[in-house]
Amino acid sequence: MAASVSDANGSAAPNGAPGSQTLARGLAALQLVATSPTGLTVQQVADDIGVHRTIAYRLLSTLAQFRMVAKGEDGRYRSAAALAVLGASFDNNVRQLSVPTLRGLADELGTTVSLLVAEGDQQVAIAVIVPTNVFYQLSFHEGSRAPLERGAAGIALLATMPPRPGERDLVPQARQQGWVITHGEVEPNTYGLAVPVRRRPPSPPTCINLISHREDVVVGGRDAVIKAADELSTILS
């Protein structure tokens, strides 16, 4: 709480260094957002670290500029992709740990698979793996973004979060069954299958996504994707 960072009157941080107060407050704000499953408003952060709302807003805006947090349409701040990168360094790099499983899945099914995380109201691809022995395949760049409410991956990511007012019917359905299939929501005539990867906070919501122009490939690959997601849940836990 506020006493562990600085008091409401602006006293120095615990180590007494004059220049450390802003850093301490920023780190405290980052930690609060990262450990909140539903995100936090500016006022909630201000109350928790014991500062004026204006100061909390400046701290969160700076963190957002560095993509550590992202502001959603509901006004709440949540963990963002740059924080996932730091987290990946802590657990020996999420992408590197995930690639062997994703590679095996892509080659087994003969189609592109990816690992995505939620960043605010967007989904971000942090790993994209194409099959090695297929002449033609769909693909997209790592770092690609799409709205969180669109496509199988976005729905799977939302399914790992607490229910939101007005969410699509597919989201609670995905929560219940553990997977979701969509068609043409991100790219025309493309099928998507996504399965959440269970991770502990403060790790961002994560999922495996499979894409193909062929419905039979997506439907037939469901069990393999579920198995791969379970494997990554264990590896990344």
Residue 4 included in any domain = no
Looking at 53, 87, 121, the residue that finishes a domain is 87
Q: Are residues 58 and 114 in the same domain?
A: no
Looking at 45, 70, 87, the residue that finishes a domain is 87
Largest CA distance in the chain: 65
> The sheet that has 112-119: what strands, in order across it?
145-147, 122-129, 112-119, 206-212, 191-197, 180-183
Q: Are residues 100 and 212 in the same domain?
A: yes
Question: d(Cα 124, Cα 136) in Å, to the nearest integer?
Answer: 24
Residue 11 included in any domain = no
Residue 151 included in any domain = yes
Boundaries of domain holding 205: 90-236
Looking at 87, 109, 126, the residue that finishes a domain is 87
Question: d(Cα 155, Cα 134) in Å, to the nearest integer?
Answer: 28
pTM, two decimal places: 0.67
Span 206-221, average pLDDT: 97
Q: What is the mean pLDDT of the chain?
A: 87
Q: Are residues 62 and 75 in the same domain?
A: yes
pLDDT score of 9? 38
Amino acid at 128: V
Q: Are residues 230 and 134 in the same domain?
A: yes
The three-class DSSP label of residue 92 is: coil
pLDDT score of 8? 34
Q: Are residues 134 and 220 in the same domain?
A: yes
- Number of domains making up the chain: 2
Res. 50: pLDDT tops 90: yes
Per residue in 156-205, pLDDT tens? 999 999 998 899 999 999 999 999 999 999 989 999 999 999 998 778 89
pLDDT score of 17? 54
Q: What is the pLDDT confidence band of residue 43, given thresholds at 50, 70 and 90?
A: very high
Lowest mean pLDDT among 13-17, 139-143, 184-188: 13-17
Q: Are residues 32 and 83 in the same domain?
A: yes
